[in-house]
Structure 1
Amino acid sequence: MGTVSITVTDAPERERFEAHDEDGTLAGVVTYQLTGNIVVYTHTKVEPAFEGHGVGALLATAVMDDARARNRTVVPICPFLSEWLEKHKEYDKLVARSTRKVK
């Protein structure tokens, strides 16, 4: 598999962001629950054929940029996203503080 062009779109009727390749194949999803201005990202799943190609990071960036654009507070329940956010401090001010792991 060479360089894959992935597009991430919001599918509010399914309460998830979807990543598709240029053929329209589903590469991965981030599921969410929206309550007012608070978005809870519940699960990130990358299809096995697309693992190791940066799809998870692409999804994480897309959902966080979307939250920032919509002025939403993020509650990252998803372990993958929580871990990703630890390395991407530029999104810190979007994340609900109470969800941070106690160190």
Structure 2
Amino acid sequence: MERYILKDNEARSRYEFDLGGHTAYIDYEKDNGTIVLTHTFVPEAYEGRGVGAQLVAAALADIRRQRLKVVPQCSFVAVYIKRHPEWSDMVSETAGAER
């Protein structure tokens, strides 16, 4: 599987992978030590190749490095965290209340 380099595009409030002419991304909103992951997008030509999972894992690693709590508002991110419980300690206690 090809490895992509995570870019935190703060100007657009999203994590990105440059796929060589296409971009996969996760939109986010930062607020008081918390980051809300609102939407994940993977170009159709790259679906089913693990790009989304790789993007979520890289974003979560960066979020952990920053010591932020995450609110997985995006269903793709929420399912990823449920399937990979090693990230569950990062989920904000208020994540369920904000829905």
| 1:59-78 to 2 correspondences below 5 Å | 59-78=55-74
Any residues of structure 2 matched to 1:14-33 within 5 Å, and which?
14-21=12-19, 24-33=20-29
Within 2, Cα distance between the matches of 1:20 and 1:29?
9
Structure 2 stretches of 5 or more lacking a match? Answer: none
- The number of aligned residues is 97
SS of 1:6's equivalent in the other structure is coil
Q: Describe the SS at the equivalent of 2:81.
A: helix
Structure 1 moving runs of 4+ over 4 Å = none
Query: What secondary structure, in the 3-state scheme, does the structure 2 residue paired with 1:32 have?
Result: strand
- The aligned counterpart of 1:6 is 4
- Percent identity among equivalent residues? 31
Asked if the contact 1:46/1:56 (under 8 Å) is kept, the reply is yes
Structure having the higher Rg = 1
Structure 2-normalised TM-score? 0.89
The Cα RMSD (Å) is 1.6
Q: Give the equivalent residue in structure 2 for 1:88.
A: 84
Deviations 1:21-56 (A, max 9, x none): 2xx322411000001211000000100011111110
